[in-house]
Amino acid sequence: MIHPDSPWKRIWDLVIFGAITYFAIEVPLRIVLHYKIDAQVAVYERMIQLLFLVDIVLNFRTGYMQERVLIADRKKVRNKYLRTWFLIDFLSAFPFDLFGGIFYQYFGLTDTLRILRLLRAIKVFELFRSLTLLAMGGNERHQYKVLEVINPATFRLGFFIYWTALFAHWVACGWIKLNPKFLSDADMTTRYIRSLYWSVTTLTTIGYGDITPTTNEQTVYTMFVMILGVGIYGYVIGNISSILSNVDIARIKFQDKLDTINSFLKYKKIPHELANRIRGYYINLWEFRHGIDEKNIWDELPTAIKIDVSLFLHEKLISVVPFFRNASEDLKREVVQELKPMAFMKGDLIFREGDVPHHMFFIAKGNVDIINERSGEKIATLNAGSFFGEMALFDDSLRSASVKAASFCDLYTLEKESFEKVLKHHPDFAKTVRDLATKRKKERKRFKK
C-alpha cells in the first residue's frame, strides 16, 4: 500500500492539481467560445486523462489517516474510496468525447459532456486539506520538505485567491454562454476579457453599469451573481483581515508586551537609563529568540520528546566540560533536562567575585568576559560553546572572579542542587566528580600559597 504522506505521492498530487486546474480553465472556454484545438493539444489532453485514470488506480492502493492512525487494509481503503471520490474521479476521467456519436445517438447528449471534467475541481478541496497538513508539519515522518516551510495562513490565502479567480472565470464563461451576441464582431480574447471584467465588477459589487443584462435569463443570472458577490465580498474582507492579523502572531504579541512594559515603566517612574535597559532586554530577546518562550514549550512537551529535544540541543554544550565528556548517555539525558535558559544584556554582571555560587553556566550564544574584580583586569573572554562557574557544582567556595556579558548572551544554567540529584542516580560518576573536586581544592590552596 502507498503511504498518503510519502514525498512522491505528494508530488503526484501536485501534478494532478495542475491537470485539474487546466481543465477547470480550458473546458468552459471551449464550450462557450466554440474554438478548435490542434492535434498537439489534443494529445496533451489525452495524456492528462490517462493521468486521471492512473490516479484512480493509485487511489485504490493509497492508505488514509484515521485519528492519526494509518489505515492500510485494502478492503477498507477500497470501500472508502468507492463511497467518496470514485464516482467523481471516474466521470471526470472517462473520455466521453471519444464516444460522442454513441451518446448522441442513444441518449441525445453531445460533446458538452466534457463539462463533467469540472467535477474533479471539487477534489481540489481534498488536495488542499492534505497539503495544508504538510504546511503545518504533516501526519508522519514522510513529508514533502518544500511545503513544510509554507506558513499555513499564507497557504490558505493562496488557496482562497485560487478559488476566487477560478469562480470569476466560470462566471465570465457563463455570461458569454447566456449572451452569444456579446461583442460578436470582436475576437475571442476581447470577448473573454470584457466578460471577465463584467464578472469581477459584479462579484465585487462595484458594477459600473457599462455592461448590462438585456434578457430575462441574463437578468436572473446577474442577480444570482450579485447575491453571490455580496457573500464573497464579506468573506473576502473577513478572511483577509483574519489572515493578515495572523501572518506574524509572534510579532504582534511582542508589540503588545512591549506596550505593556512601556506603560509599567511610565507608571512606576523608572529612571530613563534603567528603562532603556529593560526595553533593550526585551528587544534583544525578540531579535535572538523571536518571542519564543522556551519554558512554556518545555512544560507542554511530553517527557520522552522533551528529553530527546534537550539532548539534541544541549549535548554539545555539556560535552565540552571535561567531566561530562566521557559520561554515560543516561547521565547526559538527565543533565540536559535540568538546564535552564537565561539571557543577559551586554554589560550585565552575571556574577561578582566573592558571590556565593549556585550555578554552572553554558554559553549558547554571545560571549562573556572574566574579570579580576580588584584590578579590573580582563582575564579571558569566553565564546559560544564554552562554560564557566563549574566549581559551583563541587564546593561552596566563593566566586574567584567576576563575569560580565560582553554581548547579548543566551546562557543555560545547571543548579548545584539539580546536579547533586543527578549524581545520586550515578554513584560511579559521583565518585569521579568527588575525586575531581578534591583535586581542584588542592590546586586552589597551592595557588593561594
Reported as a pLDDT band with limits 50, 70 and 90, residue 102 is: low
More confident residue, 244 or 136: 244
Residue 149: all three cell numbers together: 516551510
Reported as a pLDDT band with limits 50, 70 and 90, residue 111 is: very low
Q: Could you give the percent of the chain with pLDDT greater than 90?
A: 10
Q: Could you give the percent of the chain with pLDDT greater than 70?
A: 81
Other beta carbons within 10 Å of 364: 19
**Continuous H helices in 136-187:** 145-148, 152-178
Average pLDDT value for the chain: 79
Bridge partners (DSSP) of residue 409 are 344
Measured between alpha carbons, how far is 56 from 81 in angstroms, rounded to an integer? 9
Average pLDDT over residues 71-87: 85
Average pLDDT over residues 338-366: 89
**pLDDT of the residue at 369:** 93
Query: Is residue 428 over pLDDT 80?
Result: yes
Q: What pLDDT digit, counting tens, does each position of 158-184 carry? A: 777 888 888 899 999 999 988 888 887
**pLDDT of the residue at 413:** 92
Reported as a pLDDT band with limits 50, 70 and 90, residue 151 is: low
Q: 299 to each of 49, 172, 200, 337, 339, how far by Cα in Å?
A: 52, 54, 50, 11, 13
Determine which of 119-128, 197-206, 246-255, 382-391 has the lowest per-residue pLDDT on average.
Answer: 119-128
Bridge partners (DSSP) of residue 351 are 403
Average pLDDT over residues 231-257: 74
**pLDDT of the residue at 140:** 44
Average pLDDT over residues 386-399: 83
Reported as a pLDDT band with limits 50, 70 and 90, residue 88 is: confident
Determine which of 18-27, 244-253, 335-344 has the lowest per-residue pLDDT on average.
Answer: 244-253
Measured between alpha carbons, how far is 304 from 122 in angstroms, rounded to an integer? 41
154 contacts: CB under 8 Å, gap ≥ 6: 243, 247
Residue 362: all three cell numbers together: 553554558
Contact assessment for residue 225 and residue 202, using Cβ atoms and an 8 Å cutoff = yes
Query: Is residue 281 over pLDDT 90?
Result: no
**pLDDT of the residue at 92:** 75
Reported as a pLDDT band with limits 50, 70 and 90, residue 391 is: confident
Query: Is residue 30 over pLDDT 80?
Result: yes
Reported as a pLDDT band with limits 50, 70 and 90, residue 125 is: low
The residue written with cell numbers 498530487 in the block is: 13
Query: Is residue 430 over pLDDT 90?
Result: no
**pLDDT of the residue at 146:** 40
Choose from 101-115, 313-327, 336-350, 434-448 the range with maximum mean pLDDT. 336-350
**pLDDT of the residue at 148:** 44
Query: Is residue 378 over pLDDT 70?
Result: yes
Cα 1 versus chain centre, distance: 28
Average pLDDT over residues 72-95: 82
Query: Is residue 136 over pLDDT 50?
Result: no
**pLDDT of the residue at 414:** 92
Other beta carbons within 10 Å of 181: 7
**pLDDT of the residue at 106:** 46
Predicted TM-score (pTM) of the model is: 0.56
**pLDDT of the residue at 195:** 92
